[in-house]
Every structure is written in structure tokens, then in C-alpha cells.
Chain A
Amino acid sequence: MILKLDNVSVKKFDNCIIKNVSFEVNEGDYLNIVGPNGSGKTTLIKVLTNLTKPTEGIVTFGDYKFGYIPQHLHQAKFMPATVYEVLKLSNLKKVKDSEIDALLDLMNITELKYHKMKQLSGGESQRVYIIRALLSHPDVLILDEPTSALDPSFRDKFYNYIETLHNNGMTIIHVTHDLSEGLRRGSKIIQLDQTIRFSGTFEDFQNFHQHHHDEKGGEHYHV
């Protein structure tokens, strides 16, 4: 077991952001967590990355190394840090230069190695954060809207690469508001809207919404 959430709720000023969320992630899973804006995805990610403790419920983490690609970049605006410095210094363990070079090449940003982070575009800095996460050699990769700032041509390349990582044994937790993005890949899906609305495989998801649609005339999701 990689991680397990047991009846997890997070409250902020008496407001319930997420409520009674329970699920388990196992080795080799490719889990998509989808939900609209304001559904508590960001808070759930904070719980998954151990940056927030739940108000109620229990989170259990297995003995695995986690990698994290954040959506919101908290980087210091006035710091002249270069791409190389960020990649070299952001991991607890020592990082080899050859490894940095290989990943820069893979992400097509070799020429940006000595550029300052604050001069990069959104897509360019997101690629740096992807490399930063990969340099920690994670067993589990948590992706928070990873392609929101990437141009469409690179998006496919990015997801193909994630799929390769997954095929090589990495567990993927992919969080997105874009249902079509969430449904294209992976093996499991969780639909979040404060609490879990749906949890299961793609086929189940389609059937569930087909059923839902037929009964209530609600929205129909196409895969």
C-alpha cells in the first residue's frame, strides 16, 4: 500500500473543504482525481503530499519516495536563481550534473540551463518543476494539473513520458479539473466534489454516468 485515506476531512474556519474522503493507492496504480474548481482538489493534494494534516480521519503513508509537481509556483520573485541552481539544490540528496543534463534534454530545455527562473515562461518553468520532481527518483509521482501551462504540442509528449514512467513501475496520482485529460489515461478514477462522488475504473465510470444520465438527464461524459 502506497497511501491510504480513512474518512479524511479537512476544515478551515468551520468550513468543510473535503469531507469523509476514503481511498487507497497501491503500487503500480495510475489514479486520476478529477473535480471542478473549488471541489477541494488542492486541499486533497496538500493531504497527499503531507503538507496538511487532516482535521478528522487518518492518512497512512507506506514506505515510498514521493515526487510532486505543483501547479502553483511559489517561487521567489526577486531571487536570481537559475534553472541549474534550482535543480541542483532542491533535493535533499546529491544530484548528478549528467542527470540534470539528460532530463533538460528530454524536456527540450537544454538551452535554458543557466537562465534565471524568473525569466522563464509558465510552460518552461513547469518543465523545470517536472525535472525537479524526477530528480528525486520517486516511486510515486503526484501531478497537480501538470499541463495547465504547457503548450498542446508538448502536452502529448509529456503524457507519453509519464506513461513510460508508469510502465516502468512508477505509481502515478494525477489531479486535474479537465475530465477529458483525466479519462484518457490511467486505470482508476476518483471524482471529487468535496466528498468522493465516484470511485472505480473507467468502464464503471462510463456506466455510472450513463446510468446517471438516463435517470436524471444529467451531464454525459464521453471518453
Chain B
Amino acid sequence: MFEFLTYPFMIRAILIGVTLAVSTSLISNFLVSSNQSLIGDGLAHISFTGVVIGVLFSNNPLYIAIPIAILASILIKFLMRTNKIHGDTAIGLVSTLALAIGFILISQSSGFNMSVESMLVGSIFSTVWMDVLYSSIIMLLVFTFTIYSYKHLFSISFDSTYAKFSKIKEAYYDYFLAAITAVVVVVGVQTIGTLLVSAFIIFPAVSGSLVAKSFKHMMINSVIINVVVTITGIILGHFLSYPAGASIIVLHGITFGVLYLFKLIRRIE
């Protein structure tokens, strides 16, 4: 029954899934709490174009896609912080523009050898060990960043005005969180797909908060939910021949629905 665990592609899929699940859930708590859930979605679209450009001009698309996504995240943050336009608007502007450029590049180039569908829903079963290495490094990076900056990220997410007053370098953490999200998203887009990356940034934190007694509890819940859902989704995808990314998102949707109902019922009681 557990024969599938002897396939290297399956082991790689689970390792990449779990490492990215941990990275995204850690970040997602701060993003969702400070009403920035859409930034993951926006950056996923931008990374799509980043990866397209990377595939066209380099042997390793990450070398080009990561700097592009970081620059875009800084641009989005800059637009959001100038207060001239609304935060969501800034994300919408930059991300749709980037996506459009990506599609133009694909249509004009004969050398593009990746399927657009696989970039959207991911191809987690056709990864290489190098991808496992990248996503593990990213997980370590995010983990260190979260532990090291937990206190400040908490303050900023809870009350950014007071954080500024307390002389916490709010702008620095804001840009840094966006940039680190960009890096996670790029690695995610290449392996688990644009769609799943967006879901990874939103679902775990929201579901985790529904049954949390504190913010710390929300963080732990989100990591557990994301890891369990991801492993289950990959295994289900394998046995039912569904796209793994899409299965994970549907499972996340079900988890959210169940927890939401649970909370509603408990409130009525």
C-alpha cells in the first residue's frame, strides 16, 4: 500500500510540498493579519512572468525570476506606502501588468518549452533534487527570519502605528517581509504552480485563525494544517490521477469550510 513512497518522484513531491507548506504558512500569518493576503497572489502572477523570462534567457530560471520578483515586491510596497493609491490597487496594477507581459513573451517566443498549464497548476511530480534543495534552503531562511523577527513582525501586524512610535523599523520589516515572500513564491511557482502558491499564502493562516486561542496558536495551527493538507493532497492526487496542486487547494477549501462551520456551531451553542 505504501509502495508509492519508494518512488523518488513521490519523495521529492512530498519534500517540496512540506518545505514550501512550512515556509508559506509562517509568512502567511503576518500577511493575512495585516490585510495583505493579496500580495502573495500578486507576487505569484509576477513570478509567473519572472519564470517565463528566466526560462527564455537562462538555464536556471530562478536566477532571473528571483530578482524580478524581489524588485516587483519592492515596487508594490513602495506604491502601497506612498498612500497615493490603495494597497490592493497597487498589487492589482503591478501583477496584471506583469502577467500580461509574460503572455506576450510566451506568444512571441519559439523557444518556450514549458506548458502554461503546468506553470499555473504546477508539476510537483516532475521535479528534480535541485528543487528539493532550493525549497529546503528557503524554508530555513523563512524559519530563521520568523524566529528572529517574531516580536517585531507581531507588533507591526497588530498595530503598525504603535510599532512606528516604538521605533521599530517598520518600513524595513515591511519591505523585507514582501521580499522574502517574493522569493518563496518564485520557488513555489516553479514547482507547485502559480495557483497553489496563492492558496498557500491565504488558506493556512485563515483556517488556523478560526480555531486559535492566540496568535502563536494560529501560527502553529497554520503550519500543521498546511503540512497535513499538502501531504494528503499529494497522495490523493497520485492515486486518483488528479493534479496534485488542485487537490491540495480543494482540500484546503474543505478544511476551511469544516472549521468555519465548527466555529459557527460553537458560537450558536
List chain A positions with a Cβ less than 8 A from chain B.
49-51, 66, 68, 70, 73-76, 78-82, 84-86, 89-92, 114, 116-117, 132, 136
Q: Chain B residues near A90: list those with CB within 8 A.
A: 155, 158-159, 162-163, 166
Q: How far is the CA of A90 from the CA of B157 in the complex (A)?
A: 11
The tally of residues in B whose CB lies under 8 Å from a CB in A reads 28
Shortest CB distance A14–B (Å): 16
* B215 & A85 in contact (Cβ 8 Å cutoff): yes
* B162 & A80 in contact (Cβ 8 Å cutoff): no
Q: How far is the CA of A82 from the CA of B209 in the complex (A)?
A: 12
Contact A70/B158 with A80-B215, A82-B214 known, Cβ cut-off 8 Å: no
List chain B positions with a Cβ less than 8 A from chain A.
32-35, 150-151, 154-155, 157-168, 209, 212-218
- What total of A-B pairs shows CB separation below 8 Å? 74
Q: Chain A residues near B161: list those with CB within 8 A.
A: 51, 70, 74
Shortest CB distance A111–B (Å): 15
Known: A70-B162, A136-B166. 12 other contacts (CB 8 A): A51-B165, A74-B161, A76-B157, A76-B159, A78-B35, A79-B33, A79-B158, A80-B209, A89-B154, A90-B162, A92-B166, A92-B167
Shortest CB distance B214–A (Å): 5
Q: Chain A residues near B165: list those with CB within 8 A.
A: 49-51, 66, 68
Q: Chain B residues near A49: list those with CB within 8 A.
A: 165
Interface of chain B, helix or strand or loop or mixed?
helix
* B215 & A81 in contact (Cβ 8 Å cutoff): yes
* B162 & A68 in contact (Cβ 8 Å cutoff): yes
Q: How far is the CA of A79 from the CA of B150 in the complex (A)?
A: 15
Q: How far is the CA of A73 from the CA of B161 in the complex (A)?
A: 9
* A81 & B154 in contact (Cβ 8 Å cutoff): yes
Q: Chain B residues near A89: list those with CB within 8 A.
A: 150-151, 154-155
Shortest CB distance A13–B (Å): 12
Q: Chain B residues near A66: list those with CB within 8 A.
A: 165
Q: How far is the CA of A34 from the CA of B214 in the complex (A)?
A: 38
Q: Chain B residues near A51: list those with CB within 8 A.
A: 161, 164-165
Q: How far is the CA of A51 from the CA of B212 in the complex (A)?
A: 33
Q: Which 4 A-B pairs have CB atoms at the shortest separation, nearest pair first?
A: A79-B33, A80-B212, A82-B214, A81-B215
Smallest CB-CB separation from A91: which chain B residue? B166
Q: Chain A residues near B33: list those with CB within 8 A.
A: 76, 78-79
Shortest CB distance A180–B (Å): 28
Shortest CB distance B158–A (Å): 5
Q: Chain A residues near B209: list those with CB within 8 A.
A: 78-80
* B216 & A74 in contact (Cβ 8 Å cutoff): no
Q: How far is the CA of A132 from the CA of B158 in the complex (A)?
A: 13
7 A-B pairs with CB atoms under 8 Å apart are A49-B165, A76-B158, A89-B150, A90-B155, A90-B163, A114-B213, A116-B213
